[in-house]
Chains A and B, each alone.
Chain A
Amino acid sequence: MSYGSFEAVRGIDLEVRAGEVHAFLGPNGAGKTTTVEILEGFRRRTAGEISVLGEDPAKAGGDWRARIGVVLQESETEAELTVFECVSLYAGYYPRSRSIDETLELVGLADRSTARCARLSGGQRRRLDVALALIGDPELLFLDEPTTGFDPSARHAAWDVISGLRDLGKTIFLTTHYMEEAEHLADRISVIAKGEIVAEGTPGNIGDRATKQSTIRFTLPPGISASELPPSVLSLSATSDGKIQARADHALAAVGALAAWAGERGIDLPDLEVSRPTLEDVYLELTEDR
């Protein structure tokens, strides 16, 4: 089942499937916010076709908005209300809403329900944002940079909440600047750059990540020069100060040759490291000026 495909900004083609967490990545100014605001119905497109939950967001009414939830990038809440009152205010907007206590429990704010919204910490405010987006029990949730400004432990707590939403069967459209976050949460990723989608895939295979060369790094012991390395490793490597960085299509064969060579000489390579390209490596390559 398709949740929608749309064209925006400059010929974007994108499809978000029901029940998936879809991460939408891109540098600032790439058209990310514009695209999201068009999908949320805040902004009108100039051309193209969009269908979100079967409707054009620019024309959709209250019934459609009852089925979506939006966590905006920057928005405050009614400072004079308590957390519980604020959530009940928004609950009243929907024809069918979730239980307030249960929702506060889900986002980890149950113990703060009588606190004034103005007194919440940054992380707690973001959780309240999520609670307000969830209170109408939406099928589709837009999360615009939900963890920006969080410390690492708050970020992990937020990830648990978002994973919990996936388990509830929600479709989630997530924008973020944190590759770790996309890798941890997303089923699929789209990357936008200069108003166009430049790659789409799973966190594991986007931008040919699965088939890209591995990197082997190690430092040679003193007195041994790089020219003594076995030819199969030497041909792949770049040197600086005895630090070797080699790129290999077949990392296992290269490491085998390296191990045999070191064993013959009775030397050790204690900082030997073999790594796959990270999502960040792939992302930077996809979004750099071409």
Chain B
Amino acid sequence: MTATSPTVGRSRSRVAHLVAHQFRYDLRIFLRNRQGVFFTLALPVLFLVIFASVFKQQNVAVAGGRINESVYYVPGIIAFGVIAATFSNLTLNVVQYREAGIYKRRRATPLPASAVIIGRAVLAGLTALVMTAILLTIGWAAYGASIPTHTAATFLLAIIVGAVVFACLGFALASLIKDADGAQPVVLGIILPLCFISGVFIPILELPHWLIDISKVFPVHALADLLLGVYNPYTSGAGLNWTDFGVLIAWGTVGLVVAVRRFSWLPSSG
């Protein structure tokens, strides 16, 4: 094949067209998959309502002072929702499609690899945004949790960086899992313990120091901490916590490198 320069521009718009095509169908597939919708959309809402309602009368310590415990849970569960959409759901879906031979079939067509990856990532990103909007609204309407204007930009940045980082980690983990049945336990086995020690399900300052120190190495803590900082009324300035962003970006880079090196279109077996 000789690629001439005029075809480059055309092929770029063709990739964009194919990404849109793939995304439309991926979205339809996602919305019809009850398991995916439940774990990705319903479960975070359920968690928020349960945690925030149970501890409505209590206050909890955060950096700089104390806040209402139901307000405390809103940023944590938003982090959980972003992770469910970009990491958990994406990993399970990619492993399942690869092992079922669906990716292999798609690779036998002219569809460029980038359209498959970008289409799937866009779905994950949009799901994360929708999830964030839903949790934000519930948190505000039911529990009076609001974001101060001076941290609003950081909130948006944290959601976007978090979604991209966890999507990279999702593709990376998917490339390391060899069978479809094993994917769910691996994903939950990683995410649930990290959520517990990162302040998502338990107020972080109620945990022993050594456990907090361990959690600080991982990106779940970084995202949850950033979002808590955004909601925390005692945060001064924009709430741009560079350590948290640094941890996220470092993990995202590792994920991207692993994904690029290890990603496979073919089933592991056969």
- The reply on A94 being an interface residue by CB < 8 A is yes
The 8 Å CB contact of B33, one of A42, A69, A80, A90, is A80
> How distant is B91 from chain A, measured CB to nearest CB, in Å?
18
Closest B residue to A55 using CB positions: B1
| CB–CB B101/A76 < 8 A | yes
| CB–CB B102/A76 < 8 A | yes
| CB–CB B1/A64 < 8 A | yes
A77–B100 CA distance with the chains assembled, in angstroms: 8
> How distant is B127 from chain A, measured CB to nearest CB, in Å?
16
The 8 Å CB contact of A75, one of B25, B100, B109, B112, is B100
CB neighbours of B105 from chain A (8 A) = 70, 72, 75, 77, 132
- The reply on B216 being an interface residue by CB < 8 A is no
Closest A residue to B265 using CB positions: A42
| CB–CB A74/B101 < 8 A | yes
| CB–CB B25/A78 < 8 A | yes
| CB–CB A62/B112 < 8 A | yes
- The reply on B107 being an interface residue by CB < 8 A is yes
| CB–CB B1/A92 < 8 A | no
A68–B106 CA distance with the chains assembled, in angstroms: 12
A70–B102 CA distance with the chains assembled, in angstroms: 12
- The reply on A111 being an interface residue by CB < 8 A is no
| CB–CB B25/A89 < 8 A | yes
CB neighbours of A66 from chain B (8 A) = 109-110
| CB–CB B1/A77 < 8 A | no
Closest A residue to B20 using CB positions: A92
Q: Which of A41-57 contact B (CB under 8 A)?
A: 41-42, 55
| CB–CB A72/B104 < 8 A | yes
| CB–CB A65/B32 < 8 A | no
CB neighbours of A63 from chain B (8 A) = 1, 110
CB neighbours of A60 from chain B (8 A) = 1
- The reply on B21 being an interface residue by CB < 8 A is yes
A72–B267 CA distance with the chains assembled, in angstroms: 12
CB neighbours of A132 from chain B (8 A) = 105
| CB–CB A70/B28 < 8 A | no
- The reply on B108 being an interface residue by CB < 8 A is yes
A240–B104 CA distance with the chains assembled, in angstroms: 54
Closest A residue to B17 using CB positions: A92
| CB–CB B270/A74 < 8 A | yes
- The reply on B18 being an interface residue by CB < 8 A is yes
Q: Which residues in B have some Cβ–Cβ distance to A below 8 Å?
A: 1, 18, 21-22, 25, 28-29, 32-33, 100-102, 104-112, 265-267, 270
Q: Which residues in A have some Cβ–Cβ distance to B below 8 Å?
A: 40-42, 55, 60-66, 68-70, 72, 74-78, 80-81, 85, 89-90, 92-95, 132, 136
- Contacts A80-B33, A89-B22, A94-B110 aside, 5 further interface pairs with beta carbons under 8 A come to A42-B108, A61-B1, A78-B29, A89-B21, A136-B109
The 9 closest A-B pairs by CB, nearest first: A75-B101, A62-B110, A80-B32, A70-B108, A76-B100, A93-B111, A93-B109, A66-B110, A92-B21
Please name 7 pairs of A and B residues whose Cβ atoms are closer than 8 Å in the assembled complex, sorted by A.
Answer: A41-B108, A42-B107, A55-B1, A74-B270, A78-B25, A85-B25, A93-B21
